[in-house]
Amino acid sequence: MTTIKVNGRDAGLDGVPVHTTVLDWLRDRGLTGAKEGCAEGECGACSVLVARPGIDTPTQWTAINACLLPAASLDGQEIITSEGLGKSAALHPVQQEMAVRGGSQCGFCTPGFVCSMAAEYYRPDRTAATADADRTADADRTAAADGACAHEHGPNGFDLHALSGNLCRCTGYRPIRDAAYALGEPAADDTLAARRSSPPPPPVATQLSVNGSEFLRPSTLTEVLDLLANRPEAQLVAGSTDAGVEVNIRGQRPPLVIAIDRLPELREFDFGVNEVRIGAALTLSEIERLLGGRVPLLAQLFPQFASRLIRNGATIGGNLGTGSPIGDTPPALLALDASLVLASRRGERVVALADYFTGYRQTLKAPDELIRSIVVPLPLAPMTAFHKIAKRRFDDISSVAVGYAVEVVDGVVEQARIGLGGVAATPLRARATEDALVGRPWTERTVREASEVLAGEGTPMDDHRASSAYRSAMLGQSLLRFFAQHLAAEGVSA
């Protein structure tokens, strides 16, 4: 029997259509606190807590968008909804602070905010003692990224960007922030805090077949590769942050869905002497914590990638697997000279990311292959940056994205790698601009001449996000900004 533990009680999934989302399944069971505001993972009204493997504790309560994830993908897992946090006669501390500080008005978005806020409330290292260190780190990131990655921490260590995926039309957010910053530490008898010391439920091998559609969660990578060899049309899902949108908005109903998010072989991580190896099924939030800032270019990227709710589910393999020309990780990984390990029943092969994209949403990956891991060579270039140009500062799709990795020795550019997104049918390396920089002095004159080359890279198009002229102009300005940023970091006036 397929079941999910919801608010401490087992609930069955047998007979539930394969493409039913966690949100719809919960609401059908009368748990209507979670709402559908967008069905795309942008508003956070649907957020719930899931018991996931932690890094600092065995379990970490993680907020996710229930509107995107298939209910079948949580077979055997444990979730908490807003109803499970507290009741009207005994409010949870998060609910209490939201109520007394005016953080809820119409109430539509409130349960989602409460769940996202609770995930941060239970973050193991969120304490007042760490708040000063958090703010110092924020200041360093802000200086390095010219404000693009700035966070805001309260005196209690609460990271306000934990709520970046939740929207509210009523409050103006100030009372919600006040509620977040008023939270203390969990009480000694808090059962959800105590739950963190035990491991989360292990992944369960799942086989669900309803109305001609199948959902499978194999136990091993070998099983997945065997399935792909025989059924290459299968839809692989991990965080389902892209596939879930296709199901909700475009009505797609793939006949076979295979969950790969909990496969140990796809969740490996190693920071070695010569390379960093990142499992394709690790979420972006997990990668961010595991790296701990040791790859500065990715440290700048993560806060600008969608929202915390999305990063809690989205995987780096999924972002690359879609082949999208506007994904945020490819420009950064291209600048880092990353490679991909592709696996199939025929074996494994390594391909350079610069060669991986072959056309619009087309890649070198064969139908029976999947991305096993991403490899970043070491040492890293000393000068890096990630620039994202979008209509909103956070939680938006890029109009243009640029990743830089530059090495200057004795005033001369020895190496330059520049990754671009949003300016062609595929992510690409700015080869002509790299050639215009390498071997020349790292001066304003060189950079201005190279910026004119960069403005001509790619084949930008007009769409609702930006015109082709705007995209080209932003490319040129981006290189000038990169140069000015690093002069400022060195204490030199531009």
User: Domain of 325: which CATH number?
Assistant: 3.30.465.10
Of 95-99, 146-150, 445-449, 465-469, give the lowest mean pLDDT range.
146-150
Query: Residue 330: is its pLDDT beyond 80?
Result: yes
Same domain for 392 and 250?
no
For 51-86, the pLDDT digits (tens) are 999 988 999 999 999 999 999 999 999 999 999 999
pLDDT attached to residue 149: 44
Residue 300 lies in a domain: yes
Tell me the H-state helices in 164-235: 174-182, 191-195, 221-230
Query: Residue 132: is its pLDDT beyond 70?
Result: no
Q: The tokens 């839809």 sit on which residue?
A: 235
Which domain does 124 fall in, by range?
Answer: 3-129+153-195
Mean pLDDT confidence for 329-358: 98
Residue 27 lies in a domain: yes
Closest CA to 457 of 436, 483, 481, 482: 436
Higher pLDDT, 9 or 464: 9
pLDDT attached to residue 1: 78
For 271-303, the pLDDT digits (tens) are 999 999 999 999 999 999 999 999 999 999 999
Same domain for 359 and 340?
yes
Point out which residues pair with 62 in neighbouring strands: 50
Residue 166 carries which side chain, given as an amino acid letter? N
Give this prediction's pTM: 0.94
Q: How far apart are CA 280 and CA 285, in angstroms?
A: 13
pLDDT attached to residue 74: 98
- For 72-103, give the DSSP string: GGGTT-EEE-HHHH-BTTB--HHHHHHHHTT-
End-to-end CA distance of the chain: 66
Q: How far apart are CA 410 and CA 431, in angstroms?
A: 23
Could you give the C-alpha distances from 200 to 56, 126, 288, in angstroms and in order?
A: 13, 20, 20
pLDDT attached to residue 287: 98
Residue 106 lies in a domain: yes
Same domain for 220 and 309?
no
DSSP letter, residue 14 = T
Residue 306 lies in a domain: yes
Place 141 in a pLDDT band, splitting at 50, 70 and 90: very low
Same domain for 10 and 121?
yes
Mean pLDDT confidence for 349-362: 97
Q: How far apart are CA 296 and CA 294, in angstroms?
A: 6
Same domain for 272 and 373?
yes
Mean pLDDT confidence for 394-412: 94
For 256-270, the pLDDT digits (tens) are 999 999 999 999 999
Enclosing H/E stretch for 3:
strand 3-6
pLDDT attached to residue 145: 44
CB 107 within 8 A of CB 131: no
Same domain for 184 and 323?
no
Q: How far apart are CA 414 and CA 434, in angstroms?
A: 10
Long-range contacts of 349-357 (CB under 8 A, 24+ apart): 350/375, 353/320, 354/428, 354/429, 356/320, 357/323, 357/325, 357/330, 357/426, 357/427, 357/428
Place 133 in a pLDDT band, splitting at 50, 70 and 90: low
Last residue of a domain, one of 318, 353, 377: 377
Same domain for 318 and 359?
yes
For 175-212, the pLDDT digits (tens) are 999 999 999 999 999 999 999 999 999 999 999 999 99
Phi–psi pair at 21, nearest 5 degrees:
-80, 160
pLDDT attached to residue 143: 42
Query: Residue 129: is its pLDDT beyond 80?
Result: no
Cβ neighbours of residue 435 under 8 Å, at least 6 residues apart?
A: none
Neighbour-count burial for 167-204, b at 16+ CB within 10 Å, e otherwise: bbebbebebbbbbbbbbebbeeeeebbebbeeebeebe
pLDDT attached to residue 146: 47
In terms of DSSP bridges, do strands 339-344 and 347-352 run parallel, antiparallel, or are they unpaired? antiparallel
Same domain for 118 and 240?
no
Domain containing residue 69: CATH number: 3.10.20.30
Same domain for 14 and 49?
yes
Same domain for 67 and 160?
yes
pLDDT attached to residue 488: 83
Q: What is the mean pLDDT of the chain?
A: 93
Residue 148 lies in a domain: no
Same domain for 185 and 65?
yes
Query: Residue 138: is its pLDDT beyond 60?
Result: no
